[in-house]
Structure 1
Amino acid sequence: MQLAIILCAILVVQYALSLIQIRSYKKNIDKIVRDYKGEDGYFMFSGMQRGKFRPGAIAVLIVDQDYIVHECHMLKGMSVFTKFKPIVSYNGQHVGEIVSDVSDSTVKNKKNKIPAFKKALLQAGENALLTISKSKISMES
């Protein structure tokens, strides 16, 4: 009986912490979107990498139609209280450069243990390249 109560308590705590994390995520994404609302030619892309026993990560890129990154935000860690942090080093760079740099650094990694934030950033960058190029092709047709 005590085991059942403990398991139920764990589920309730997990549910509450998940709600906190979802609210925080939504608040941050809404703020990013609000900054670009009404402006044409900007796109938001995200990549996510979950870690089973290692920290996970979410990368969010704001990219214009010329593939230039205007903002990069990264959430990485294991805690539900982890917050998005701006990564200004990618601002003004071409998405292709970022994808190439991250890909090159992962190939050089001899242990094949690529950090979750690099996988998430790579996924967001690849999504940006594919989506914008498809939209440009459909506009020209």
Structure 2
Amino acid sequence: MSGFVIFFIGLMLLQSVLSVAQVKQYQSFIKKVTTEQAGTDYDFYTEVVKGRVMRTVVAVVVDKDGKVIQCYCCSGMTVFAKFKEDSSYQGKHLEEFYSKKVQESQLSKIEEALSKIYSRKLEAIT
């Protein structure tokens, strides 16, 4: 019985250490992007889209017109998932994803996050 308790405590400690590492990695990524964009007229947004098993975190830099300048995606179940730049969304407007969501029922996780960012941006204006 005591072996089980020690094993359980070890798992809890490991989870705590890995959670702290994940938070530090997220903070360093956010700091890197915000310092790169400091002094520009660009806005920076993040959004989390939850799936059944995995989550997708999208970080996007947009200009005042809502055009995507940079788009980063972090998707996975573990603490080892890292942000990766997705250049396929560069140059597109957030409004495209919002109107696509209204017309279609199925969007990719990244498109769903970009749509949510656009609606959040609209709420900030009104």
What interval of TM-score do these two structures reach, taking the shorter chain for normalisation?
0.7 to 0.9
Contact 2:60 2:68 in 1 (8 A): yes
RMSD of aligned alpha carbons: 2.3
How much does 1:98 deviate? 2.5
Point out which structure has higher relative CO (alpha carbons under 8 A, 6+ apart).
Answer: 1
Query: What residue is the counterpart of 1:73 in the other structure?
Result: 72
Structure 2 residue aligned with 1:128, among 94, 118, 123? 118
Helix, strand or coil: the match of 2:26? helix
Name the SS of the counterpart of 1:92 in structure 2.
Answer: coil
TM-score (norm 1): 0.75
Aligned-pair identity in percent equals: 25
Find the counterpart in structure 1 of residue 91 from structure 2.
Answer: 92
Q: Deviations over 1:6-51 (max 9, x none)?
A: 11101000001111111111111111111110112x1111111345
In structure 2, the partner of 1:82 is: 81
Contact map agreement 1:56 1:77 (CA 8 A) in 2: yes
Give 1:102 shift.
5.3
- The alignment's TM-score, normalised by the length of structure 2, stands at 0.83
| 1: CA distance, partners of 2:123 / 2:13 | 45
AA partner of residue 13 (structure 1): L
Q: Which amino acid aligns with 2:33?
A: I
Shift of 1:125: 3.3
Residues 50, 10 of structure 1: CA spacing in aligned structure 2 closer, same or farther, 3 A cutoff? farther
Q: Which amino acid aligns with 2:71?
A: C
Query: Residue 61 of structure 1 contacts residue 125 of structure 1 at CA under 8 Å; is this kept in 2?
Result: no
**Following superposition of structure 1 onto structure 2, how do residues 1-141 of structure 1 map, counting pairs within 5 Å?**
1-40=2-41, 42-51=42-51, 54-101=53-100, 104=103, 107=105, 109=106, 118=109, 121-131=111-121, 134-135=124-125
How many corresponding residue pairs?
A: 125
Mapped partners of 1:104, 1:89: distance in 2: 21
SS in 1 for 2:65: coil
